[in-house]
Each structure stands twice: as C-alpha cells, then as structure tokens.
Structure 1
Amino acid sequence: MSLRDHLRELRRRLLIAALGVVAGAVAGFFLYDWVVTALAEPVMSYVDAEDRRLVGLTFNTVGQPLDLLIRMSLFVGIIVSSPIWLYQLWAFIMPGLKKTEKRYALAFIAASVPLFLGGILLAYWILPRAIHFFFGLNPEGTSNLIALDIYFTFVLHLFLACGAAMVIPVILVGINMMGLVSGKQVLKSWRGVVMGIAVVSALAAPGGEAITMFFIMAPLTLLFAVAIVMCLLNDRRRDKREAREREELLGATPVE
C-alpha cells in the first residue's frame, strides 16, 4: 500500500472506532446514575475510625452536571466499545503481516479485550484503597469536600491507565510482528520497563502496602515477560523463514 492508501485506511479505522465509542456513549447515558454512584461509593462510604470528618463530593458550577454527564458517558462508551476499537487497531496492523502471522494476530485480538477489561477491574480494586490512604493524610479537624470534576478526572485517569497498561504488551508483540522492533531490542529495555512498572505500582498502592504493590506489579511484569518471549520466538521463526527463502532462491538461480 502507498502512503496515501495507508492514511486512507487509518482514517477509515479511526472513523469506525469513533462511531463505536459514540454508540457506547449512548449506553453510558442511560447507565450514568449507576456508574457515578458506584465510582463515588469509596468517598461517600469513607469512615475514619478516629474522626468522623465531613466527606463529600460537590458541584462547583452550574454547568458542571452536564459536563460530568458527557464525560462519564464517553468513559462508559470507551469501555463498552473496547472490542470494536481494539479490533480496528489490529485490523490496521494485520495487512502488514504474513499469512501465518495473521493467525496469531487473531489470538491477540481475542486477548486484548479481556486484558483491557481486566485492567479496568484492577483499577476499581485500587480505587477505595487509594481513597482511604489519601484521606488518612488529612490534618486533624479538616474535611474532604471534593469537586466532582476533579475527583472523576482522577478516577478516569486511573482506570484508563490500568487498562492501557494491560494491553500495551499485546500491542508490542504486534509491532514486533510488523518488523518495527526486534525481540532483542525489547529484551534490552527490560530493566527500564520493570523499574517503570515498580514505580507505577508503588504510586497505585498508597501507603506502601507491599501486598497491594505486588498484586499490581505481578500481572504487568508477567505480561511484559510473555511479550518478550513471544517477540523472541517470532524473530527466530522469521529468521528461519527468511533463511529458507534465500536457500530456495539460490537453488532456483541457474549457474552460468
């Protein structure tokens, strides 16, 4: 495909993904009250054992409820439509793969959706623990009256970051299959990646709880390790195929 064809294909894939998010956002509109109640529950149910301080979520402007409705609907739309836009991502990558590699790509498509949703569930598990830790840092006699837009910005960033972190190793394997990065290059970066995972896990495990940090770090590290192994195996398979093709080409070349 020419560059123009690639750009045209990218535009088509992005359009389909956007339509999927919009359709999911319509569903999010009807689920708005339930979603907001579920995500606000860690704050609204917070009880300090030593001091029953004032805790709550507030609107600061007249138009803020509408802004929150739109943002939460889009958030639900991204989650609900994840099978659509993740498929579009892989559909854009797949034309650059060999026929044998496309079979593996289909498996990665099937893995991306549960991994993304698993990251969302991980973030939901982290959220109340994060709230309890941060509220525990309040000086005595102070309150926690948080603007809803600020609170839900924190929540959305946490959820999307965890979801993306679970999918990135799968995307990394896809990029390797396209020949844009080798398994050895991925392997060389393992120290920096593990360090980054440890930092993210420590930040997402407020209070420095070792067990919470482990539950966050373990699946991310395991996924990265699996991605490295698959990239190395794919490199070996590609090298053997290219060597065989060279031998066949040399064998078919007439000797003068």
Structure 2
Amino acid sequence: MSVSEREEIEKSSAPLIEHLVELRRRLIWSIAGFFVAFLVCFFFAKKLFNLLVVPFKWATQWAGLDPHKVELIYTAPQEFFFTQVKLAMFGGMVIAFPLIATQIYKFIAPGLYKNERAAFLPFLIASPILFLMGAALVYFFFTPMVMWFFLAMQQTGTDNQVQISLLPKVSEYLSLIMTLIFSFGLVFQLPVVTSLMTRVGMLSSQGLVDKRRWAIVIAFVVAAILTPPDPMSQIGLALPTIILYEVAIWTSRMIEKNQAREKLEREKAEATTETEKSGEAGS
C-alpha cells in the first residue's frame, strides 16, 4: 500500500457512531424511495396489470383465438387486492432500485480507493440495464411463447371431447410473470458478477473456459428450478444463460488484458522513478 493510498483511507475513516448515522441516513432514503414508488405503482396497479396481460393477448393471436376475449378471474374476494399490492411492491422495488443501489454505493465508497470506485461504478450502471434487458426479453418474447404453449393444451369440446379452457387466476398469472422476470433478470447479472470476481482475482477467464461443460449443465438445472415446469420456459432461460456465460468469458479476458497493461505501465513508471532517483543521488 502506497503512502498516498494510506492517507486517502485515513482521511475517509470515521468513528463507529458516524458510520451508523450515515447508514441510518442511507436506509431512510432507500425506504422512502421504495415507499413513494410503491404508492405510485399501487395507484396505477390496474393499468400495470393490464399492461402485463398484453403478452397473453399476443399468445391468443398466435393460437388463432380472439385476443379481445382474454379473461382472467379471481376466486377469493381479497385476491385481486393483494395481487395489486404484490404488483406494486414488485414495481416499486424495480423503480427504486437505482436509488437504493446509489445509496449503497455512497455508503461503501468512502472505504474504497479512488481506482476501486472508478472500477465499481460501471458495474453499478450495467446491473439495472442488464436486468431491464432480461425483463424485456421476458415481456416481448418468452411470456407470449409460454402462454401460447399453455393455450395449445385447450380442448374445444368437439369429437366427443370435454371442453377444457384456460382461465388463469390473476394471482397465478402475476406470479408467473414475476417469476420469469426475476429469473431472467437474475441470470442477466452473470457478466457483472463474473467481471467483479475477475477484478478481485477470484476468477480467471481460463477457469471459466475449463468449467464451461459444468456451466451448461448447471444452466439447465437452474432453469428447471426457477421457471415453470414447461420445456419452453426452461430452454428459453437456459440458452440465454449459456450465451451470457460466453459473454462473461470475453469480459474476463478484457479485464485481464487491462490489468496486465496497467501493471506493465505501473512497473515502467516505478522503474523510471527509481532511475531518476539514482541519477539525482549520483549527481
């Protein structure tokens, strides 16, 4: 540790009580941001739910049915109310996440070196972007695909068959959407997690390459656990996971190259400094 780095840490150090006060202030901001976002989402809960039903309507069109006849039900008096509460909590957390992540960063930033803060900030920005990319993939592609798969199991009641129609409950439909969004959003954090672990030396690109076969198996196992029990959603989650694993290998290699270049430049600078000091001492 250099003298300047040690001085930087000592300047940023604070007594325990100041850390607790700072933590309390960051928690208040985070909770207040979530509460405001929750109230806004609850006020527009019905409109948000209708927006989430749009992929279901697309699926009915793919199945050759009338999208205007899409119908969902609730079988308990309080079910739709609590569904709106759950939707508002989920939406509030998504909306407030940038604020919460910023408060976490501001709390831990004084304990980081300047170069560590500069390295951590891009991941703070990339994390919500990747989560939104996963959510968009769920909304525009995988939810219609999954619902189309389920709609294909209906029976029309012809040829001496009993009529069997899909009539989902509002709570179960929301749970399906939330599960898919959470699963894909979580999987899309893979490049962020592996890049951070590579920076601190816990992973290497070669190690990721060596474990590629295990990663493929684990991707399908995780997809089977996180998604509904149908092959469409399981394969739909496993394939992006494998692609993101390859992206993680590429980003790890780039980080290692940058670290090697920075190390070489630092060694050259130190050698130059030593040469200058030796020249001054000789003169």
Q: CA deviation at 1:41?
A: 2.7
Instruction: Say whether residues 1:101 and 2:122 are aligned partners.
Output: no
Aligned to 1:170: 192
Secondary structure (helix, strand or coil) at the match of 1:59 reads coil
- Is residue 43 from structure 1 mapped to residue 62 from structure 2 by the alignment? no
Q: Is the 8 A contact 2:205 2:249 kept in 1?
A: no
- Residue 42 of structure 1 contacts residue 128 of structure 1 at CA under 8 Å; is this kept in 2? yes
Cα distance in 1 between the residues matched to 2:65 and 2:174? 27
* TM-score of the two chains, using structure 2 as the length reference: 0.66
Match of 1:18 among 21, 31, 47: 31
Q: Deviations for 1:142-176, whole angstroms, at most 9, x for unmatched residues? A: 11122211111111111122122222421343344
Structure 2: distance between partners of 1:139 and 1:11? 57
Judged with a 3 Å threshold, the aligned counterparts in structure 2 of structure 1 residues 232 and 197 are, in CA distance, closer, same or farther, namely farther
Partner in structure 2 of residue 30 of structure 1 = 43
CA contact (8 A) 1:17 1:84 kept: yes
Q: Does 1:143 find its partner at 2:165?
A: yes
Distance, in Å, in 1 between the alignment partners of 2:64 and 2:116 is 57
Asked whether the 8 Å contact 1:182–1:232 carries over to 2, the reply is: no
Give the match for residue 127 of structure 1. Answer: 143
Q: Which moved more, 1:135-144 or 1:33-42?
A: 135-144
Structure showing greater Rg: 2
Distance in 2 of aligned mates of 1:238 and 1:190: 28
TM-score by length of 1: 0.72
CA distance in 2, matches of 1:72, 1:117: 17
Whether the aligned pair in 1 keeps the contact of 2:133 and 2:185 (CA below 8 Å) is yes
CA distance in 2, matches of 1:195, 1:166: 17
CA distance in 1: counterparts of 2:198 and 2:32, whole angstroms: 29
Counterpart in 2 of 1:114? 129
Aligned CA distance change for structure 1 residues 191 and 133 (closer, same or farther; 3 Å):
same
Counterparts of 1:191 and 1:102, CA distance in 2 = 34
In structure 1, stretches of 5+ residues that fail to align are none
| Structure 2 unaligned blocks of 5 or more | 1-12, 157-162, 272-276, 278-283
Quick one: structure 1 residues 218 and 42, their matched pair in 2 at CA, closer, same or farther if it must change by over 3 Å?
A: same
Task: Report the Cα distance in structure 2 between the residues aligned to 1:44 and 1:88, rounded to whole angstroms.
Answer: 39
TM-superposed deviation, 1:64? 1.4
C-alpha distance in 2 between matches for 1:225 and 1:22:
39
What is the RMSD of the two structures over their aligned residues, measured on CA atoms? 4.4
8 A contact 1:13–1:89 mirrored in 2: yes
Report if the CA contact (8 A) 1:25-1:77 is conserved. Answer: yes
1:1-256 to structure 2, matched below 5 A, reads 8=20, 13=26, 15-44=28-57, 46=60, 48-49=63-64, 56-91=71-106, 94-95=109-110, 97-125=112-140, 126-138=142-154, 141-177=163-199, 179=200, 181-183=202-204, 187=208, 188-197=210-219, 216-217=240-241, 220-230=244-254, 232-233=256-257, 236=260
Report the secondary structure of 2:167's partner residue: strand
| CA-CA distance at 1:10 after TM superposition | 6.4
Change (3 A) 1:148 1:208: closer
Greater RCO, CA 8 A, separation 6+: 1
Distance 1:10 1:234 in 2: 34
State how far apart, in whole Å, the 2-side matches of 1:134 and 1:226 are: 37
Question: SS of 1:81's equivalent?
Answer: helix
CA–CA distance in 1 between the matches of 2:251 and 2:212? 11
User: Aligned pairs, how many?
Assistant: 248
Could you tell me how far apart the structure 1 residues matched to 2:182 and 2:193 are?
16
